[in-house]
């Protein structure tokens, strides 16, 4: 039997953008919306037009430019807001107005305390239903597709909520949104609420039930899924779970849960999940909200394995420790992170991938050096492994040895460096100026060693933290068709740079031993 579809409603550009300290302009919203269209979400909530001219313009722009998803705009249940939505959405191919009002007793008593809404709670409740009905009817004059939200439904008196939903559907709402605005609900109870709506609201068959959950208790995704399991056929959320306070339900998690556990939920979405990783990065960059490495589905470590037991199992059969395929969410491949806990099997596998097939004895030696490095660093990179191999298995003779170094620069001084190196049993000195201290050092070393390698890459990273951190410099040197990596570490980054450069030159010297070098200079 064909499974039912759950529509995916993305509100990154509206609720997500409400995250503290974030603001997106129209062009940025358009860039994200284009990516959301590639992700094939069903609905994009583009903004709240009455809130600012900028938001109005953004909704207008997306209405004009975006093809595919429905473009939705938010309003309160007040005519001015709805008219603004109608105007901003005028050019949308498939417009939707999302209007609504508070339903919980807290909202009724707090937001609508002005006596103009009624003197007693009972009177206010009647008035709010009238406002909801009027809002939906007005919205229907601008769009055939009208979604009604019952704000703070998660804390509402169910009987009042049912009455409100029935009235909204009667007035023409095509979708009824059940927001857990404050993230108060727990999955079993929220699921039961959705089931009760299906059973108790007489005209519910004429509308789609949507769930919109916030993450104040870390339950937004679980609550959304409980909603889906109990009959919600639209789910709302944001990419990376960004949003007001603790955020909204993370759409990538909801979608991948429905997909991975299709056996349990028995529904599907139309989302192109291979776009998740790209979308997540874009949203993170544009909103300036970093994705934690351990974030489900799109976190940097979501497909990384590091402990020996896991790596061993994973390398034998991926499915021992992975329930999703990385390529299904747009991650190129799973990663084995080399740490002190990785084990020999993981190390051997990585070395083989790097093209090194070692004997057991060589592997043992390399593993011991690897452990020493891994104890000092969080992660051992491929460059580190290659450096270890050069030391342990293919040691590089020291043609050049850095003996002394002095450099200076300043706002009004030309960066200058003086170096002394041991070269073939002799001490040689030289100096050079450069475009910055590192450049001066490299040039001075080239002068002394009479070499002409090209510095193709320069990277620096702190191995330890604090102002006295050890800086580790990695350089890539090129000469003719040879490329080598040089590494150096020191608390002084200039010294680390010099060591890395000399290390690279020693490797190049070993590569060219007994051969003429492209850049040979006599002397």
When asked if residue 15 is in the footprint of Zn ion (CB under 5 A), the reply is yes
When asked if residue 190 is in the footprint of ligand KIV (CB under 6 A), the reply is no
H, E, C per residue of 306-348: CCHHHHHHHHHCHHHCCCCCHHHHCCCCCEECCCCCCCHHHHH
Query: Could you say which of 12, 104, 181, 409 contacts ligand KIV (CB under 6 A)?
Result: 181
Give whichever of 43 and 351 is closer to ligand KIV, judged by the CB atom: 43
What is the nearest approach in angstroms of ligand KIV to the Cβ of residue 183? 9
Contact 285, 244 (CB under 8 A): no
What is the nearest approach in angstroms of ligand KIV to the Cβ of residue 143? 17
395 CB-near residues (< 8 Å, 6+ apart): none
Stretch that binds Zn ion, among 10-18, 118-126, 195-203, 375-383 (CB under 5 A): 10-18
Q: Which two tokens stand for residue 46?
A: 């583009």
Q: How far apart are CA 106 and CA 184, in angstroms?
A: 13
Give whichever of 236 and 503 is closer to ligand KIV, judged by the CB atom: 236
326, exposed or middle or buried, with CB in 10 Å at 0-12, 13-18, 19+?
middle
468, exposed or middle or buried, with CB in 10 Å at 0-12, 13-18, 19+?
exposed
DSSP label at residue 296 = T
Task: Quickly list DSSP for 240-308.
Answer: GG--STT-B-BHHHHHHHHHHTHHHH-EE----GGGHHHHHHHHHHHHT-PPPTT-TTTSTTTTEE-SH
Residues in the chain, total: 523
When asked if residue 179 is in the footprint of ligand KIV (CB under 6 A), the reply is yes
What is the nearest approach in angstroms of ligand KIV to the Cβ of residue 179? 3
**Residue 148 binding partner per list Zn ion, ligand KIV, none, with a CB distance cut-off of 5 to 8 Å that depends on partner kind:** none
Query: Could you say which of 148, 149, 160, 400 contacts ligand KIV (CB under 6 A)?
Result: 149
When asked if residue 17 is in the footprint of ligand KIV (CB under 6 A), the reply is no
Give whichever of 48 and 370 is closer to Zn ion, judged by the CB atom: 48
SS3 state of residue 492: coil
Q: Interface residues for ligand KIV in 461-520 (CB under 6 A)?
A: none
Torsion of CA 181, 187, 189, 193, to 10 degrees: 60
Q: How far apart are CA 479 and CA 453, in angstroms?
A: 5
What is the nearest approach in angstroms of Zn ion to the Cβ of residue 21? 17
Neighbours of 361 (CB within 10 A): 8
Rounded (10°) angle between helices 53-65 and 79-88: 40
Stretch that binds ligand KIV, among 159-167, 173-181, 343-351, 417-425 (CB under 6 A): 173-181
Give the binding-site size for ligand KIV (rule: CB under 6 A): 9
What is the nearest approach in angstroms of Zn ion to the Cβ of residue 228? 17
What is the nearest approach in angstroms of Zn ion to the Cβ of residue 180? 9
Stretch that binds ligand KIV, among 121-129, 175-183, 259-267, 385-393 (CB under 6 A): 175-183
Query: Could you say which of 212, 310, 443, 507 contacts ligand KIV (CB under 6 A)?
Result: 212
When asked if residue 312 is in the footprint of ligand KIV (CB under 6 A), the reply is no
Stretch that binds ligand KIV, among 56-64, 123-131, 176-184, 185-193 (CB under 6 A): 176-184
Nearest alpha-carbon partner for 311 in 349, 267, 342: 342
SS3 state of residue 266: coil
DSSP label at residue 240 = G
Query: Binding pattern to Zn ion, positions 432-461, x when CB under 5 A?
Result: ------------------------------
Give whichever of 6 and 387 is closer to ligand KIV, judged by the CB atom: 6
Give whichever of 151 and 253 is closer to ligand KIV, judged by the CB atom: 151
Q: What are phi and psi of 477, to 5 degrees?
A: -110, 145
Q: How far apart are CA 387 and CA 382, in angstroms?
A: 9
* Chain residues that interact with ligand KIV, rule: CB under 6 A: 15, 74, 149, 151, 177, 179, 181, 212, 214
* Chain residues that interact with Zn ion, rule: CB under 5 A: 15
């Amino acid at each position: 039997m064909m499974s039912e579809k759950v529509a995916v409603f993305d509100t990154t550009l509206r609720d997500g953008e409400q995250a503290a300290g974030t603001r997106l302009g129209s062009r940025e919203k358009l860039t994200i919306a284009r990516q959301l269209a590639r992700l094939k979400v069903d609905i994009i909530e583009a903004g709240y037009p009455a809130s600012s001219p900028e938001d109005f313009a953004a909704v207008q722009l997306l209405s004009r430019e975006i093809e595919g998803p429905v473009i939705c705009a938010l309003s309160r249940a007040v005519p001015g807001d709805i008219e603004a939505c109608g105007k901003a959405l005028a050019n949308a191919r498939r417009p939707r107005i999302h209007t609504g009002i508070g339903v919980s007793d807290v909202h009724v008593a707090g937001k609508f305390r002005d006596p103009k809404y009624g003197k007693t709670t009972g009177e206010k409740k009647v008035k709010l239903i009238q406002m909801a009905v009027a809002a939906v009817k007005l919205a229907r004059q601008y769009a055939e597709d009208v979604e009604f939200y019952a704000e703070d439904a998660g804390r509402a008196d169910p009987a009042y909520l049912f009455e409100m939903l029935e009235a909204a559907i009667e007035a023409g709402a095509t979708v009824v949104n059940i927001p857990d605005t404050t993230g108060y609900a727990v999955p079993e109870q929220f699921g039961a609420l959705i089931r009760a709506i299906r059973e108790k609201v007489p005209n519910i068959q004429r509308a789609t039930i949507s769930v919109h959950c916030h993450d104040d208790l870390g339950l937004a995704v679980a609550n959304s899924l409980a909603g889906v399991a109990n009959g919600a056929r639209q789910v709302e959320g944001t990419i990376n779970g960004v949003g007001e306070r603790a955020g909204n339900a993370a759409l990538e998690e909801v979608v991948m849960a429905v997909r991975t556990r299709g056996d349990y939920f028995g529904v599907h979405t139309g989302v192109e999940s291979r776009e998740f990783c790209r979308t997540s990065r874009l949203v993170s960059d544009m909103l300036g909200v970093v994705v934690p490495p351990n974030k489900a589905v799109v976190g940097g470590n979501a497909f990384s394995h590091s402990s020996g037991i896991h790596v061993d199992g994973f390398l034998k059969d991926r499915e021992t420790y992975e329930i999703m395929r990385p390529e299904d969410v747009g991650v190129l491949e799973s990663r084995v992170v080399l740490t002190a806990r990785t084990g020999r099997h993981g190390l051997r596998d990585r070395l083989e991938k790097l093209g090194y097939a070692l004997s057991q004895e060589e592997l043992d030696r390399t593993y011991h050096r690897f452990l020493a490095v891994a104890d000092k660093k969080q992660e051992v990179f491929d460059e580190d492994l290659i450096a270890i191999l050069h030391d342990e298995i293919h040691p590089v003779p020291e043609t050049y040895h850095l003996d002394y170094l002095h450099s200076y620069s300043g706002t009004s001084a030309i960066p200058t460096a003086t170096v002394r190196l041991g070269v073939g049993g002799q001490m040689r000195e030289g100096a050079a100026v450069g475009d910055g201290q590192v450049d001066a050092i490299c040039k001075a070393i080239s002068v002394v060693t009479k070499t002409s390698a090209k510095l193709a890459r320069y990277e620096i990273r702190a191995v330890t933290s604090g102002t006295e951190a050890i800086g580790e410099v990695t350089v890539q040197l090129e000469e003719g068709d040879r490329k080598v990596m040089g590494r150096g570490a020191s608390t002084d980054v200039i010294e680390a740079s010099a060591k890395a450069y000399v290390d690279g030159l020693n490797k190049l010297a070993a590569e060219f031993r007994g051969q003429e070098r492209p850049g040979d200079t006599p002397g």
